[in-house]
């Protein structure tokens, strides 16, 4: 029963809430009861998430199939006292483990950020006395006092309210502060509609209230979000999942081939030790030792490039995941929109006006829509703007090249609109000082202020509020020239309805005739002779680049869906403006609300999630459920957001994208990527970069695997032929590690291909390598077998000593990789078509690799370590001719494929 009631405090009268919680609403709890409840409920803090043990995290880096083989190879070589080989293998294992550990040890701190968001002081009534206490010691049943500027310290059922407004945007997505009241509401309302509740971590922007604490710590709404973050499992990225699958397949193949090598050798009568060495050589050769480190470094380089484009990556695999994204689920407030209310239209009985510009900046113009007069000549419109400034408690401040507000966003929008007509708010307020006021109240639905005109000595009341509340007190309106006209109430109501239908928030403005000496502001409530000045319609406008960004996403085959806690009409309006909803789309519903989603079973929600574009009045649990529904259809989901309410879905999504400027710390810590400029358009740049990184990763894999295949085949061929091994394990490690770093990594600098954002997203269910790529790997691997084994045997037949013959074989592999590197700069186009010199890093890597290979061949110290030996110019000629032949054959194979593709199209 207690749990049920705790979820429906908004539906219970305030007096009954006090009775259920055994608390006196006037004097609060006594000190004895406070201590007893503190022992029972504990502190009002979010329970920190237990972090992973760093030692276990490091040991987990060795829990990979390919690492098992390397460890086994290291143990075998140690037993055989092959100290150099074992040292190199152990070094490779440790390098890969350290790189992975350093990335994964950046632990997620979302729960700690949530706890910090609740650290504050508050005023509480205990034993009939007011006192300031740390919010951490609050308990259910405490009576708290809230006022403007306070951070709400716990979940509170409001008892008495005076013009209270609370900014809940970080919790619900509501773009404007919510007017609160204390009456009981119907049960089952979504969080954003529980206007008699104030929730922990939200901010009081106006007024004051008394309330009773209903939940603390983990039991608050923000605490439940913390639990959702903890329970939302992080999915493997497409890259890590595919590399895991590839590693398992490769493990099986390597074990079979190594066992085959060992037993065939024994069957042929070869010594046991030699066959152990051959099996180890094959295993070491077939494993792409440099691939894990190279992939990590390539992703890190992608991180660096994204940072230059205002996107900070917190988790490396997110770089590649962005390139795989099929759906972007975006929060509205602060992500697609500016989170800055802006007046967009002004209505007067004599004409309507459009207001351009966005945000709180006073730059912009006011132009007539239908009226024949100009904006600056309309006294009615100007009076409407003046009323918006005088009947206003907020301020606009210019700080560090940006406009900030002190107060309510709606009132700040009114000041910015007036500034666009040349009205200086500070000067106007000084010229017409306020003498009295009636604060806004949710029951009255208006605010009124009394001002003195020093020049005439006359006093006027200015009024702003809900349309119906204001116009019922008006009998006249102003003409263009300021003359009095009869007011057509139906026309005003119709205009207000039209503006509201556009998703705009509409406020009405009026002023009194000069007050008599015995009249005061309180009498305005009963007056019916006010002068109607006009309507101002506003909204949180889309960001400047949102429409273009959405269009590019659609061009790239990426669906964009809006998931918000805001009202359905507002969300749909923004979605239409920026192209998320096609205005000609009539064949199916595109907008759904949280209440409707609650009634859906999983199958229905999965279908709706695929087809709908806008989800409004959505709770944190529903956001999470939507992400899961999209993932059920094998979508790779990117979730953007900036509020506390976004954090669970950010963590559950394949990639979470938080706003860095206006986003909460909770959202940032739960995300994989943070946008420094809070610009949705930056996501497009990040997706483009992600696709480029994946392209280059595939190029690297297609470039490196033929070497591993060729090395394995050479060992296998030698055992089957009963001849000496052409390459030793330590030489294989030299080939794999040096070329991966100096040659393969140069592909990370490969420029993006021109059509990268015109391709459809990669199907996440398809394997990492296509049939064409697999063919090329085997084709080049076979050529390496022919070149390496063939030139080695040729040298042997000529009576060349074994170390020199092996040096020839090693150089064959190295120089084929050098030439094949240029083939791999594009998997389909000719290297000459993309530009031979467009990647200068490739030439730099090749130059360094050649220098090292000369040292490997001729330096005595290298000869001792690697068992190499100097070779002659004729040997070099054969090596270079065969490597050149491989380059020509691969380019010829790519040309055949291009011609076949053109014929099909």
- Cα–Cα distance, 461 to 167 (Å, whole number): 28
Contact 354, 537 (CB under 8 A): no
Starting at the edge strand found earlier in the chain, the sheet holding 311-313 runs 311-313, 673-675, 655-659, 637-641, 327-330, 559-563, 614-616, 591-593
Contact 58, 101 (CB under 8 A): yes
- Cα–Cα distance, 171 to 231 (Å, whole number): 19
As given in the structure block, the two tokens for residue 713 are 């085949």
| Burial class for 697, CB neighbours closer than 10 Å (0-12, 13-18, 19+) | buried
∠ CA 708-711-713, nearest 5°, is: 105
- Cα–Cα distance, 43 to 416 (Å, whole number): 43
H helices of 722-801, in order, are 729-742, 771-797
User: Which residue in 525, 424, 447, 511 sits closest to 476, CA to CA?
Assistant: 511
- Cα–Cα distance, 561 to 788 (Å, whole number): 54
- Cα–Cα distance, 191 to 173 (Å, whole number): 11
DSSP SS3 for 340 = coil
Strands 395-399 and 402-406: antiparallel
- Cα–Cα distance, 395 to 393 (Å, whole number): 7
Determine the angle formed by the axes of helices 620-632 and 221-231, rounding to 10 degrees. 20
| DSSP assignments along 546-605, one per residue | HHHHHHHHHHTT-EEEEE-SS-HHHHHHHHHHHTSS-TT--SS--EEEHHHHHT--HHHH
Strand partners, 328: 560, 638
Phi and psi torsions of 410, nearest 5°: -65, -45
Exactly one of 142, 150, 331, 642 is catalytic; name it: 331
Q: What is the chain's length?
A: 905
User: Which residue in 514, 524, 533, 385 sits closest to 453, CA to CA?
Assistant: 514
Contact 535, 496 (CB under 8 A): yes
Contact 351, 373 (CB under 8 A): yes
Look-up of token digits 């470094």: 297
- Cα–Cα distance, 177 to 207 (Å, whole number): 12
User: Which of the 8 DSSP states describes residue 557?
Assistant: T
- Cα–Cα distance, 35 to 214 (Å, whole number): 17
Does residue 193 carry a catalytic annotation? Answer: no
Phi and psi torsions of 346, nearest 5°: -125, 130
- Cα–Cα distance, 469 to 667 (Å, whole number): 39
Strand partners, 591: 614
Active site residue ranges: 331
């Amino acid at each position: 029963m207690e749990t049920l009631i705790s979820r429906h405090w908004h539906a219970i009268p305030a007096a009954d809430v006090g009775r259920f919680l055994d608390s006196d609403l006037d004097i609060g709890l006594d000190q004895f009861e406070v201590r007893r409840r503190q022992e029972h409920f504990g502190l009002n803090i979010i329970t920190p998430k237990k972090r992973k043990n760093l030692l276990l995290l490091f040991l987990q880096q060795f829990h990979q199939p390919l690492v098992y083989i390397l460890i086994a190879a290291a143990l075998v070589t140690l037993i055989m006292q092959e100290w150099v080989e074992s040292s190199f293998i152990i070094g490779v294992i440790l390098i890969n483990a350290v790189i992975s550990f350093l990335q994964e040890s950046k632990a997620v701190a979302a729960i700690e950020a949530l706890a910090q968001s609740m650290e504050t002081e508050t005023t509480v009534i205990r034993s009939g006395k007011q006192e300031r206490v740390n919010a951490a010691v609050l308990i259910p049943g405490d009576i708290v006092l809230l006022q403007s500027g306070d951070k709400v310290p716990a979940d509170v059922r409001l008892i008495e309210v005076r013009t209270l407004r609370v900014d809940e945007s970080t919790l619900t997505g509501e773009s404007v502060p919510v007017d609160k009241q204390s009456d009981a509401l119907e049960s089952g309302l979504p969080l954003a509609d529980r206007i008699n509740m104030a929730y922990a971590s939200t901010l009081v922007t106006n007024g004051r209230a008394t309330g009773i604490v209903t939940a603390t710590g983990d039991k608050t709404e923000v605490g439940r979000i913390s639990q959702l973050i903890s329970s939302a499992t992080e999915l493997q990225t497409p890259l890590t999942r595919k590399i895991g699958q590839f590693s398992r397949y490769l493990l099986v193949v390597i074990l079979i081939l190594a066992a085959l090598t060992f037993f065939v050798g024994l069957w042929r009568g070869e010594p046991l030790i030699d066959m152990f060495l051959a099996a180890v050589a094959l295993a070491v050769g077939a494993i792409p030792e440099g691939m894990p480190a190279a992939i990590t470094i390539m992703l890190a380089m992608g991180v660096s490039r994204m940072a230059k484009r205002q996107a900070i990556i917190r988790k490396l695999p997110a770089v590649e995941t962005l390139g795989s994204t099929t759906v972007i689920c975006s929060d509205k407030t602060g992500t697609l929109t500016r989170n800055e209310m802006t007046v967009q239209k002004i209505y007067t009985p004599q004409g309507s006006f459009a207001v351009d510009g966005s945000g709180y900046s006073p730059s912009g113009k006011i132009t007539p829509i239908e009226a024949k007069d100009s904006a600056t000549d309309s006294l009615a419109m100007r009076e409407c703007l003046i009323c918006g400034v005088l009947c206003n408690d907020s301020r606009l401040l210019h700080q560090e090249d940006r406009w900030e507000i002190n107060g309510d966003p709606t009132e700040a929008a009114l000041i910015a609109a007036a500034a666009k007509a040349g009205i200086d708010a500070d000067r106007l307020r000084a010229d017409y000082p306020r003498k009295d006021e009636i604060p806004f109240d949710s029951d009255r639905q208006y605010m009124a202020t009394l001002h003195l005109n020093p020049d005439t000595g006359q006093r006027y009341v200015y009024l702003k509020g809900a349309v119906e509340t204001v116009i019922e007190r008006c009998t006249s309106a102003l003409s263009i020239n300021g003359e009095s006209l009869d007011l057509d109430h139906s026309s005003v109501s119709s205009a207000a309805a039209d503006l509201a239908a556009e998703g705009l928030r509409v406020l009405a403005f009026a002023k009194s005739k000069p007050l008599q000496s015995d009249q005061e502001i309180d009498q305005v409530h009963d007056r019916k002779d006010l002068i109607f000045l006009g309507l101002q319609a506003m909204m949180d406008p889309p960001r400047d680049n949102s429409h273009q960004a959405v269009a590019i996403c659609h061009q790239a085959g990426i669906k964009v869906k809006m998931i918000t806690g805001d009202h359905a009409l507002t969300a749909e309006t923004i979605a239409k403006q920026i192209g998320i909803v096609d205005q000609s789309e009539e064949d199916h519903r595109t907008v759904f609300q949280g209440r409707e989603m609650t009634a859906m079973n999983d199958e229905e929600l999965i279908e709706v999630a695929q087809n709908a574009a806008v989800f409004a009045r959505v709770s944190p649990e529903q956001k999470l459920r939507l992400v899961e529904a999209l993932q059920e259809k094998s979508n790779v989901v990117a979730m953007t957001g900036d509020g506390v309410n976004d954090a669970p879905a950010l963590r559950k999504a394949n990639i979470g994208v938080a706003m860095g400027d206006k986003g909460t710390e909770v959202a940032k810590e739960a995300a994989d990527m943070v946008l420094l400029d809070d610009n949705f358009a930056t996501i497009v740049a990040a997706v483009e970069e992600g696709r480029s990184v994946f392209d280059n990763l595939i190029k690297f894999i297609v470039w490196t695997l033929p070497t591993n295949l060729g090395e394995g085949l050479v060992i296998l061929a030698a055992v089957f032929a009963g001849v000496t091994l052409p390459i030793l394990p330590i030489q294989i490690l030299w080939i794999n590690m040096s070329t991966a770093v100096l040659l393969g990594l140069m592909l990370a600098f490969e420029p993006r291909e021109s059509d990268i954002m015109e391709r459809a997203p990669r199907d996440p269910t398809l394997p990492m390598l296509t049939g064409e790529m697999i063919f090329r790997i085997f084709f080049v691997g076979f050529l390496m077998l022919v070149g390496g084994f063939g030139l080695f045997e040729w040298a042997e037949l000529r009576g060349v000593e074994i170390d020199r013959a092996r040096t020839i074989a090693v150089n064959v592999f190295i120089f084929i990789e050098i030439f094949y590197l240029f083939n791999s700069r594009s998997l389909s186009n000719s290297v000459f078509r993309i530009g031979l010199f467009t990647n200068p890093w490739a030439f730099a890597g090749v130059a360094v690799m050649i220098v090292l290979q000369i040292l490997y061949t001729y330096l005595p110290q290298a000869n001792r370590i690697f068992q190499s030996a100097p070779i002659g110019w004729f040997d070099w000629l054969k090596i270079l001719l065969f490597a050149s032949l491989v380059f020509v054959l691969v380019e010829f194979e790519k040309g055949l494929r291009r011609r076949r593709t053109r014929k099909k199209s």
